[in-house]
Amino acid sequence: MTPKAKVLREVFGFDGFRPGQEAIVDHLIDGRHVLAVMPTGSGKSLCYQVPALVKQGLTIVVSPLVALMQDQVAALKLAGVAAETINSAASREDNVEIWKRVASGLVRILYLAPERLMTERMIAALQKLDVKLIAVDEAHCISQWGASFRPEYEALHGLRDAFPDAPIGAFTATADEAARRDIVKKLFGGKAEVFVSGFDRPNIRLAVRNKDNAKQQLLRFLETRAGESGIVYALSRKSTEEIAAFLVEKKHHAVAYHAGLTPAQRADAQDLFMTEKGVIVCATIAFGMGIDKPDVRFVFHADLPSSLDAYYQEIGRAGRDGEAAVAHMVFGLGDIRLRRQFIEQGEANNEHKRRENRRLDALVAYCEAPSCRRVSLLGYFGEAAEPCGNCDVCLSPGETIDGSAE
């Protein structure tokens, strides 16, 4: 049995790789840089965790959120892997203790936020250790064309020079052609193997409706979904709180989640969602990156997301167990106007604003698609598809008329 197959079976309990995983694992074991774009739920983490355990030494994983790092570390420890995270949620004493274990070679995988990793002191300390591999999770954060650009991620280009012998693997679920080029240029200086797995998630039924009263539409949507876990996305913090309060009043188990809550409040909301059945989280985009709850049965957009990239990433939190799930959006002209306003009032340069407007146009075209939504969505990511039979347009096509005379 090969070392990678042994790790896969003995540590993670799998007899074989899923489609798309093995080539990425091989490249990283061979010491080559990789950008992997894989749909949510396709097993991205395994693509760097297996090489990390095959290569010995220390693997550094760059991750954007404390909660995400803690979840991954907890899962690895359950599998018997010596994984740790040093982050702002832990006390200084705890972080010092963990660092001692890292420095003495007892830790195999160390999770760090980019802000903590890219300090002179941390880089200098890590350079004294046997760093064999670096993985960058949620790599779309590197690109200003990505769905969740984070300026702190831009500094990661320094990793190539700081650790010239360690291959870098960058992973994301959502990056169109422009974002992929941007990531390869910034992180790898233009030299990396790019793997793009299929974007299709056929178990998610897609639906879009005109918005008349989002709360009432949500209530009607939930009538047949008692006891199901789901996420409702709204544009503002105020909206998430109002929707959550409205749902609680209507006897649903709902909580709000947004960046304005304290870290403890956010952690409580996330823990509730992860551990209890039938919880509905009403959230801004602050919620969800890396959320690995397999039985989310629906994602409901009460407001228009910022782009098809963001939409794809957000609906990707549904149906990770492969069972049927629904992505339902309501949108109106007011949403489009508000999104245009956000773009124009932003501090970005004109080229960036033009690109964002084009992205918004693509999203509106998806919402108004006269034929299969999945064809439209996958086409945006450069993937050809046949009509899916599992979207509102396929299931109940609108009436068409010959408008040539008009």
CB contact set of 46 (below 8 Å; sequence gap of 6+): 8, 12, 14, 17, 21, 25
CA–CA separation, 355 vs 368, rounded Å? 20
Per-residue pLDDT of the chain (406 residues; tens, 9 = 90+): 899 999 999 999 999 998 889 999 999 999 999 999 987 777 889 999 999 999 989 999 999 888 788 888 998 999 999 999 998 888 899 999 999 999 999 999 999 999 999 999 999 999 999 999 999 998 988 987 666 667 788 889 999 999 999 999 999 987 878 889 999 999 999 899 999 988 888 999 999 999 999 999 999 999 999 999 999 999 999 999 999 999 999 999 999 998 888 878 888 888 899 889 999 999 987 676 656 788 999 999 999 998 898 898 899 889 988 899 999 999 999 999 999 998 888 877 888 888 889 989 999 999 999 999 999 999 988 888 899 999 999 998 766 555 666 6
256 DSSP β-pair partners: 282
- The pTM assigned to this predicted structure is 0.79
CA–chain centroid gap for 372, Å, is 24
pLDDT of residue 401: 59
296 DSSP β-pair partners: 229
pLDDT of residue 293: 83
In the sheet that 229-233 helps form, which strands lie side by side, from edge to edge? 204-210, 325-331, 296-301, 229-233, 280-283, 254-257
pLDDT of residue 403: 60
Let me know the angle formed at the C-alpha of 310 by 368 and 328, rounded to the nearest 5 degrees: 50
pLDDT of residue 263: 79
pLDDT of residue 397: 77
Let me know the angle formed at the C-alpha of 201 by 143 and 33, rounded to the nearest 5 degrees: 40
pLDDT of residue 200: 87
Q: Do 134 and 159 contact (CB within 8 A), yes or no?
A: yes
Q: Do 303 and 233 contact (CB within 8 A), yes or no?
A: yes
pLDDT of residue 288: 64
pLDDT of residue 171: 95
